[in-house]
Structure 1
């Protein structure tokens, strides 16, 4: 009787032990199995499966279809299993500080690599995210990060992390890196000083734009003045050339006439020149009282 009970208990134990080797894999999950610590089956798909029960065998089932999340720069719960008191503050180029929060979305692309390449892949991913965030921030000035660089920051981190993960062959695929918040440190004194710097930079850019506008206007005015002077010079040049041509024709005509009748031309030229001279002279007629004859003096001015 006792033997039957023992046999029954043994059979029940064996049945339960064997039955404990069954496990389920959901559609969004993948599994790997181990026997005596060695991986036997890799990337087991959805369904009911059996493996040698513990302690001789075990299986790991992970979600490989849905996005997993890792957050940096926040006190909200994440995959991080350790604390970092200053993790909200990150240094940028120029030794400035910013508060930043990013969410990293990733999937386990290959569970077998994820299980075997690193003891704690979540910690490795967290460390890698901090490393690439620090590198991306330190390569840029705080002005660029808070303006144009913000849109590029997420893609820079994603590409850098994926390159490192591919080299490490860790089986993780980065889907997206989202910059949720980015601002100066949340401290009144620092924030005010930062805002002062930002205002000064804005004023500097404004003054540079005004100076550029003034420079363009001055260049435009200078070019217009240069064109005016050039046009006036060309007009004066044309006038002088035409006058010189006219004088040349006139002198040639006079020379021809002089060849024919020198005395007549000399008299004519003399009269023309005297006419031009006398046209600009005031003439006063004054009687000469000391002279007994009826004569007058002609005084020119």
Structure 2
């Protein structure tokens, strides 16, 4: 029927003196249909013909409309795009979510969801990791050790001027971590360089207020503490979101040209300290001993004084009592005093000789010579 309509159109155009439009190409199926023959079915593998009873012909007839296929593809792409917003924050991280480039929220550890790019984007900085910045030197290799053979000195960073106008080389490191991830990500563009530059500025100020002797010997702890506080104040003014854990001095020494002279000065200072300590030890040993002896002598003098005073007072009281008794009975008191005196004299003598008055008038009294009462050593045998 379609072919008759086409012939009729061509005939009309010839009658009107027009050229017939070109016919669209027809395949063998159309020609077979014009002849009343059944159409051969195309297989999905090419132009080969297969009988109508083959199952591949049935599958080729079950075609999905093009509009519905496009919708399914779009839905699959949308689903995959939405699923790409699932993310996981590790325990040592914090998730910072931006919506259209502006900060929106902060998420803790665990699984979370954010609208996929370009609506939202997620940054996950390590907030518990301790970072390290080196000033005045650089560690060589992956392992950050502090051995002299594995360090590379940076003279322009290490050379500093002390308060007494001496040059000293200071090598130190800074340990820090992220305290505020939002400030750390968006307030500064190069946080590592910021920490290094701020640490160098803080250390230069602290060293500039210190003496070289203090920086080299016993003032390192004070310098580290002051540098840590000053560096934290600088980073807080910048709003860097960084917490300074510690500033550690690795090596503090004078320039290489004068290091021998400084070593001699340090040795002399150590000798001076040693001698002073020895003198103080001798003084601490001698002074308490002298104070003890002085206190003992003072106590003995006070005791002797108290004894003499009490004895004198007792003798005076006794004499006053005797005086009163003598006034009442002179002869009896004198006789009593005589007896007491003789008792005291005779009680101290070992040998006593008693003689009556007649015998005492005829003998010569004598006093015992020293050594007569001592036993004499036995004599040895006489020689013939």
Fold-level similarity (TM above 0.5): yes
Q: What is the SS of the residue equivalent to 1:86?
A: helix
In the other structure, the counterpart of 1:257 is 326
Question: Is contact 2:202–2:231 with CA below 8 Å preserved after alignment?
Answer: yes
2:349 match: none
Quick check: 2:114–2:121 contact (8 Å CA) kept in 1? no
Classify 1:261/1:34 alpha carbon distance in 2 versus 1 (closer, same or farther; 3 Å).
closer
What CA deviation, in whole Å up to 9, does each residue of 1:75-131 have, x standing for no partner?
A: 558xxxxx9743222334444443332222334444542344245444432221112
- The verdict on how the C-alpha distance between 1:231 and 1:177 changes in structure 2, with shifts beyond 3 A counting, is closer
Q: What residue is the counterpart of 1:8 in the other structure?
A: none
Question: Is residue 126 of structure 2 the alignment partner of residue 64 of structure 1?
Answer: yes
Q: CA RMSD, aligned part only?
A: 4.5
Answer yes or no: is 1:132 the counterpart of 2:132.
no
2-side partners of 1:184 and 1:196: how far apart? Answer: 13
Mapping of 1:182-197 within 5 angstroms? 182-187=251-256, 189-197=257-265
TM-score with structure 1 length normalisation? 0.58
Alignment of structure 1 residues 28-39 onto 2, 5 Å: 39=102
* CA distance, structure 1, for counterparts of residue 292 and residue 241 of structure 2: 68
Q: Which residue of the partner structure matches residue 74 of structure 1?
A: 137
Q: Which residue of 2 aligns with 1:157?
A: 227
Residue 227 of structure 1: SS of its match in structure 2?
Answer: helix
CA contact (8 A) 1:30 1:64 kept: no
Match of 2:175 among 92, 97, 105: 105
Report the equivalent of 2:241: 171
For the structure 1 residues 123 and 258, does the alpha-carbon distance in structure 2 shift closer, same or farther, using more than 3 Å as the test? same
TM-score by length of 2: 0.47
Alignment partners' CA distance in 2, 1:261 and 1:222: 57
CA distance in 2, matches of 1:60, 1:129: 30
Structure 1: state its 5+ residue gaps.
1-18, 78-82, 273-301
Which structure would you say has the larger Rg?
2
Cα distance in structure 1, aligned partners of 2:228 and 2:261: 32
Contact 2:168–2:254 (Cα < 8 Å) also in 1: yes
Report how many aligned residue pairs link the two structures.
Answer: 235
Distance 1:256 1:25 in 2: 119
Check the 8 A contact 2:136/2:170 in 1, yes or no.
yes
The alpha carbon displacement at 1:72 in A equals 0.3
Specify which structure has the higher proportion of strand: 1
For 2:289 and 2:243, locate their aligned partners in 1 and report how far apart those are by CA, in whole Å. 60
Residues 1:118 and 1:241: Cα distance change in structure 2 (over 3 Å): same
| Paired residues of 2:97 and 2:114 also in contact (CA < 8 A) | no
CA deviations over 1:123-144 (Å, ceiling 9, x no partner):
4322211122223334444444
| Deviation (angstroms), 1:71 | 0.9
Indicate the residue corresponding to 1:215 in structure 2: 283
The change in CA–CA distance for 1:49 and 1:196 in structure 2 (over 3 A counts) is farther
1:117 maps to what in 2? 187
Distance in 2, Cα, partners of 1:47 & 1:96: 59
